[in-house]
Structure 1
Amino acid sequence: MNEVQYEVIIIGGSYSGLSAAMALGRSLRKTLVIDSGKPCNEQTPHSHNFLTQDGKTPKEIAFLAKKQVKEYETVSFFHGKAINAKITENGFEIYTENGETFSSKKIIIATGITDEIPNVKGFAECWGISLIHCPYCHGYEYKGRKTGIIANGDKAVHIASLVKNLTEDVTIITRGEASFTDEQKEKLAKNNIQIIESEISELKHQNGMIESVIFSDGKDVNFEAVYAALPFHQHSEIPEQLGCEFTDFGHIKTDQFQKTNIPGVFVCGDNSSMMRSVSSAVMTGNVAGAMVNMELVTDCF
């Protein structure tokens, strides 16, 4: 077992984890960031809606963030994957995939989520590039383009309402029988939104840029961008191991200060928020770091 006792261990070193680390480093807290170096937006070409960083690649933002966090001497990094956690008398023990063990008084879980990508040819290659999840993050770049939405029911209507503001040419692809109320059907028709109920067999693309959607009935429809509302699961099993509560959507429940129902456990980033963006991750990470420091202050002051 590693003999170093940390005040805080952050599991996950992407945007929310680094933001929490900066807040703790500036408060002189002995902090360890455990990160496997595999962010969920790895192949996304550009990040948006983040002041001073608009249009930068996620990799550029993460590189600069880590460089800045490393300036704080109480923060250290461990490259590896945390796979297990245990509550102890003095806090927590974290176990990594390669057999290392670290201990701390508090932990921040910033591990994100994993999208459940369907087994459709071209889907994985386009995900995050021209097959996108959020009109706020990527919609402006595809304004005025012919756009598809892979979703059904309330989710499809919600996304369509946002996308219709960016382009007039919108088609919903339900991949099976559409499940809209009469009122929703009327609203979609009023906004000239087409509905295709056929299953998808392939996304035809060039280097992740969608050219068309091929359906199981042989129909081939050209699109320049497609939104997809995908299911997801937590990237890490550690929150469940510790007994954290989850929302009906699958996010980790927190209070307004990013605190979970388990004492000493905070979470931040995509694992606990429907607002899935770099700027939101940075904000929740900053809150988590500040609140953990406040707990540490309260414990000993």
Structure 2
Amino acid sequence: MLLDCVIIGGGPSGLNASLVLGRARKKVILFDENKLRNAVTHESHGFITRDGIKPSEFKRIAREDLMNYPDITMENQRVTDIKKENDAFVVRAEDGRRFRSRKVLLATGLKDELPAIEGIHQFYGKTLFSCPFCDGWELRDRPLVLISEDNRAFHMAKMISNWSNNLAVCTNGNLIFSEEQKEILIRKQIRVFDDEIAALEGESGRLAKIKFRNGNELFRAGGFVTTGLTQAAPFAEVLGCKMNNMGGIETDTLGRTNIEGVYASGDNSILAPSQLIIAASEGSKAAIGIVHDLVNEDF
């Protein structure tokens, strides 16, 4: 059987794309190996009617929605290979089965790479986060820290100051601010610590203090960290998709890549903020683009 679309990735983008395609009566298989970027997150925010929902609960409800549409099949396994043969994409699953499809949507998302700081993993997703729009409200008015080793720090510090006027920036030994930027932060009473960090300390996921290698300590109740971002799967590179200067997959407004028949949506592009509602909307737009192209081809 020739499918209309294979969707790789069962996060909010892939789930919403499946819904739109299923409602358009397109034959779809959604591959989901259940390795979500927000697996450490206890609550997701900013999605109207779903504010504060657990990611696992969001996914359960979404999959229930998809079961209403007979043309959607869900495969709880990993895709191991994709290649194009003649006019179709051949997708190989982990169990060895091969599926042929007219289109492929990459909704595989990104992986976060945390700075190599002792103790950071026990706080990430509990009191240390990457997105102030997602978690700033819960940390409002507390003494916060921003841990950043690159030039995103200045922008992030400005954003985080919206939720707390007690903010310190730790660069872990990296000199990333210009003199002008430092002066601006000082005027806003945002302290900058350029010392190397020895460890983060606290209990039960609650950050309490940052210990520096020079022996100094900084007491903080939570905060944010800028993470490294890499593609969670190699398929964009395998298929020859063009990447943008941030390492994301380059697409048009409807998710089309430079490879005909290959689409991408969600966090893949790295250009949009990583929020549940944005990823879901990107999946919807890409699905609309796929239906548009399928219909035009059939005419």
TM-score class, shorter: over 0.9
Matched, 1:76 2:103: no
Aligned partner (choices 282, 285, 291) of residue 283 of structure 2: 285
Output aligned runs, 1:101-116, within 5 Å.
Answer: 101-116=98-113
Deviations 1:210-256 (CA, angstroms, capped at 9, x unpaired): 12122222322211112111111100000100001111111111111
Amino acid across the alignment from 1:83 = T
Aligned partner of 2:97 among 83, 95, 100: 100
Q: Does residue 226 in structure 1 map to residue 223 in structure 2?
A: yes
* From 11, 15, 30, the counterpart of 1:14: 11
Contact 2:246–2:270 at 8 Å: present in 1 too? no
CA-based RMSD of the aligned residues comes to 1.3
Which residue, 159, 164, 176 being the options, matches 2:161?
A: 164
Deviates more, 1:100-109 or 1:278-287: 100-109
List runs of 5+ in structure 2 lacking aligned partners.
none
Q: Matched residues in 2 for 1:94 and 1:197: separation? A: 48
Residue in 2 aligned with 1:298? 296
Query: SS of the residue aligned with 1:59?
Result: helix
Query: What SS does structure 1 have at the residue aligned with 2:136?
Result: helix
Q: Is the 1:188–1:194 contact (alpha carbons within 8 Å) kept by the matching residues of 2?
A: yes
Structure 2 Cα separation of the partners of residues 48 and 13 of structure 1: 19
> Is the alpha carbon distance of 1:208 and 1:222 closer, same or farther for their aligned partners in structure 2, counting shifts above 3 Å?
same
1:178 is displaced (CA, Å) by 2.2
Structure 2 residue aligned with 1:186: 183
Whole-angstrom distance in 2 between the partners of 1:120 and 1:98: 38
Q: Percent identity?
A: 31
Q: 1:43-192 counterparts in 2 under 5 A?
A: 43-152=40-149, 154-192=151-189
Q: Which residue of 2 aligns with 1:32?
A: 29
2:2: which partner in 1?
5
Tell whether the 8 Å contact from 1:245 to 1:253 is kept in structure 2 after alignment. Answer: yes
Structure 2 CA distance for partners of 1:156 and 1:227, relative to 1, 3 Å: same
| SS of corresponding position for 2:45 | coil
Aligned amino acid, residue 163 of structure 2? L
Corresponding letter in the other structure for 1:70: M
CA distance in 1: counterparts of 2:205 and 2:99, whole angstroms: 40
1: CA distance between counterparts of 2:226 and 2:291? 36
- Native 8 Å contact 1:174 1:196 kept in 2: yes
Alignment length (residue pairs) = 298
CA distance in 1, matches of 2:151, 2:115: 20
Q: CA deviation at 1:80?
A: 0.9
Alpha-carbon distance in structure 2 between the residues aligned to 1:118 and 1:154 = 14
C-alpha deviation, 1:118, in angstroms: 3.2
Aligned residue number for residue 276 of structure 1: 274
CA contact (8 A) 1:212 1:220 kept: yes
In structure 2, give the amino acid aligned to 1:52.
T
Deviation at 1:70?
Answer: 1.4
Report the TM-score when normalising by structure 1.
Answer: 0.95
| Distance (whole Å) between structure 1 residues aligned to residue 184 and residue 230 of structure 2 | 32
Q: CA–CA distance in 2 between the matches of 1:282 and 1:24? A: 13
SS in 2 for 1:32: strand
Q: 1:206 maps to which residue?
A: 203
